Structure 1
Amino acid sequence: MGLCLNFQGLGDCLALLPPHLKEQLLSIARRRCLLSDSVLLALADSGLSHLDVSRSHLRISGPALQQALLGMPRLQALDVSGCDGLSAADLVACAAAAPELRLLRIGGSDVCDSVAAQVVPLLLPRVEALLPAPGRLADDWESLADACRCDAVGGS
């Protein structure tokens, strides 16, 4: 079974879903390695405040991500860690498309780390870049939040 929302005639119905359900569908698609440009664009929603497309490798293109972000005026956090197909120019354009963006999670591979080195200075101070520690790339925002809570508890 695939997440073929647009291909099964559900594309028009997706607009009726509330943002939290679209966010859950995006998360399921990402975790099952089914997140693609078409799925991202079908589930992009103006009510989303954060977007996790991490580890989508080459399945998410810069232009599609930028188009999705143009429809997300409230977006404050974006996770593109492990997205080897995104260039520095793509990420600068994405930051411009999301005026409320404050946190960008990037890195996780040699390619992504190289892009991060190029893009981070261009986005500061408006956007804080979060670079995962070597060997500690969490799978998603939830894992990252759990790791931060554990660090805070352990550091107290």
Structure 2
Amino acid sequence: MSVGTFSQIYIQVVFAVKGRNSLILPAWEDELYKYITGTVQNKNQKMLAINGVHDHIHFLIGMKPSCCLSDLVREVKKSSNKFINEKKFMNYKFEWQVGFGAFSYSHSVLDNVIGYIQNQKEHHKKQSFKEEYTLFLKKFNVEFKEDYLFEWIE
């Protein structure tokens, strides 16, 4: 048996449409999620869940230690941006917001996180993205300044 690297790294990634505009439409969101899943898998990472609402998305991956998360998210955003624009899902240029959130989880809570991601549309009937995102930052003890969060449309 050869010596190898063994790991268990689970990361939830969250990012928003530029300006938090409500641009992700139900008519094409499944196609977008399949495209993003393909991008993640092509980078040799494991997609565990993906979903979102009109202004942001969440995805949960099983990440290999050789993966650079910021490079992966940059590639997902860049390629999906291009995909949306080339498919002409809308009449104007689509862009993702600069930045993202990344939150790590233990294996024991994966079912809860997957359920949370799958239930995004119901969840956001009661809570705004800004409330949700700020809660994540506080729950995970991530220091932040309000001025440096996403651009919010109020």
Asked if TM exceeds 0.5, the reply is no
Bigger relative CO (Cα 8 Å, ≥ 6 apart): 2
Going by fraction, where is strand more abundant, 1 or 2? 2
How high is the TM-score relative to the length of structure 2? Answer: 0.28
- TM-score, normalised to structure 1, is 0.28
